[in-house]
Amino acid sequence: MFINRSDLIRRNPAQFNYGVAVLDVDGDGDFEWFIAGYGFPNTVLKWTGTSLEIVTPLALADAGRQAIGVAACDLDGDGDEEIYILNTDSFAGQKLFADRLFDHADGEWTDLFSMPTHRAILNLTAGRSVIGLDRDGDGIYGFFVANYGGPMRLYELDEDGHLHDIAPRLGLDLTTGGRSAVALPLLTPRQDIFVGNEGGPNFLFLNTGEGGFEEVAAVSGLADPDQHARGIAILDANDDGLFDLVCGNWDGHHRLYVQGFGGNFSNIAPPEMASPSRVRTVIAADFDNDGYEEIFFNNIGQPNRLFARRDGEWQQVNIGDALEPGGLGTGAAIADIDADGRLELLIAHGESGMQPLTLYHAASNDNHWLRIRPFTVHGAPARGALVTLSAGGRLQRRVVDCGSGYLCQMEPVAHFGLGDIDTIDFVEVRWPDGATFTLDHPGVDQQIKVRHPYERG
């Protein structure tokens, strides 16, 4: 499947890296890779047309910290995304160095956590994942942090520009071995939160529709209390129109949780997929544009795995150059960084040894594709929006990524492969506020930007 194109990374030293996110760092409308450096500078990689170049602003490099996780979203409704960077100097519980929350204004990046008014709410617990969350559908996000050995947090700005941790008010401030998190319209039309935990049951917080949440993992069949969760991926694994969850468990049996009508989940992972491994990031995406998503397992110190649906069954398939049997994978993310209609896969390495980044994509083919890039009412990437495509007698569904399970965040685009189908019936975008927009018969092999119907000037 994958071809190694790491040669496209112009400067690529061996170092300790962790989480990877995809966002528009420089505001030019194109995406860059953001890679968290652990004891090394954070790195921003930009596609120049022929290669990926390091273009990291000095403030974001932040070489004095130990970064592991990263995510972006529009915290203040200005149309630009802020960047949350998880730093850690301890395995669990209390840490010395707080996280960063960078806001770009007047040409400079400023850490909001460095402001004296925010000292009382610094996250001084060893966080493991961070995601963007539009809990009430107004296009203004918060950052939800899954902490290990301390209370989870949800940071939002008030109208005066002050940060608050509102997790205690919403009942989200549970303490556990928090490892991973995703947000999506899973069982409700709003943004529900699934949290994968280590040393205890997972959490599923249903959005009540009034900005609050109710925890229902046990009754939904997702608690899995004896496993140690890591990467999580979202997809419709059996084409029934409902979202399912792939949950990688550290040195434990991996799960493919298929949703039944009524909100109950059952594990249908075949033996090859369930087989334990030292898993980190899990990604669901259509890498070869054949119209069906593949599932990628990034492992540390063990070969990576790739699964695809063949004749209605999930099977392990040839992963090609991305096998990386000696790779120390710590994070991975996808983006069509060069705008050719194929997704690139960037893998970061580290933890037990320094290694360079690796970059892969599938071989070129004649398969068609479509990319939908929705925006919020404020003009920012609409993370959490639901995009449905109808073509060839079936529906495909994607959620624009809020944060992908463990340490990472994918591009804020719904990417669809179409195989040999060259006619699309319609595409519907549904925002977290319930607003919808339908494109009838869009052409294939293009990226379409979709503005919110009530976008504010």
**pLDDT beneath 70, residues of the chain:** 457
How high is the pLDDT of residue 76?
Answer: 96
Report which DSSP code applies to 299.
E
Long-range contacts of 250-255 (CB under 8 A, 24+ apart): 250/198, 250/278, 250/279, 251/276, 251/277, 251/278, 252/226, 252/227, 252/228, 252/276, 253/227, 254/279, 254/297, 255/224, 255/227
How high is the pLDDT of residue 93?
Answer: 87
Report how far residue 454's alpha carbon sits from residue 457's, in angstroms, rounded to the nearest whole number: 9
Q: What is the dihedral of CA 24, 123, 98, 335, to 10 degrees?
A: -20
- Judge contact between 187 and 263, C-beta under 8 A: yes
The single-letter code of the amino acid at 426 is F
- Judge contact between 427 and 386, C-beta under 8 A: no
The residues, ordered by sequence, that sit 6+ positions from 409 with a Cβ below 8 Å of its Cβ are: 19, 20, 21, 22, 23, 70, 71, 72, 131, 132, 333, 401, 402, 403
How high is the pLDDT of residue 211?
Answer: 79
C-alpha count within 13 angstroms, C-beta hemisphere, residue 204: 22
pLDDT tens by residue, 14-38: 999 999 999 999 999 999 999 999 9
Give the SS3 label for residue 336.
Answer: coil
Report how far residue 411's alpha carbon sits from residue 402's, in angstroms, rounded to the nearest whole number: 9
Q: How many CB atoms lie within 10 A of CB 27?
A: 11
Report how far residue 31's alpha carbon sits from residue 303's, in angstroms, rounded to the nearest whole number: 29
**Rg (Cα) of the chain, in Å, rounded?**
20
- Judge contact between 352 and 363, C-beta under 8 A: no
Residue 420: burial class (beta carbons within 10 Å; 0-12, 13-18, 19+):
exposed
- Judge contact between 113 and 82, C-beta under 8 A: no
Cα-to-chain-centroid distance, residue 198? 19
How high is the pLDDT of residue 92?
Answer: 86
Predicted TM-score (pTM) above 0.75: yes
C-alpha count within 13 angstroms, C-beta hemisphere, residue 296: 31
How high is the pLDDT of residue 457?
Answer: 64
Phi, psi at 366, each rounded to 5°: -100, 10
Q: What is the 3-state secondary structure (H, E, C) of 66-131?
A: EEEEEEEECCCCCCCCEEEEEECCCCCCECCCCCEEEEEECCEEEEHHHCHHHHHHCCCECEEEEE
- Judge contact between 305 and 327, C-beta under 8 A: no
Report how far residue 442's alpha carbon sits from residue 109's, in angstroms, rounded to the nearest whole number: 38
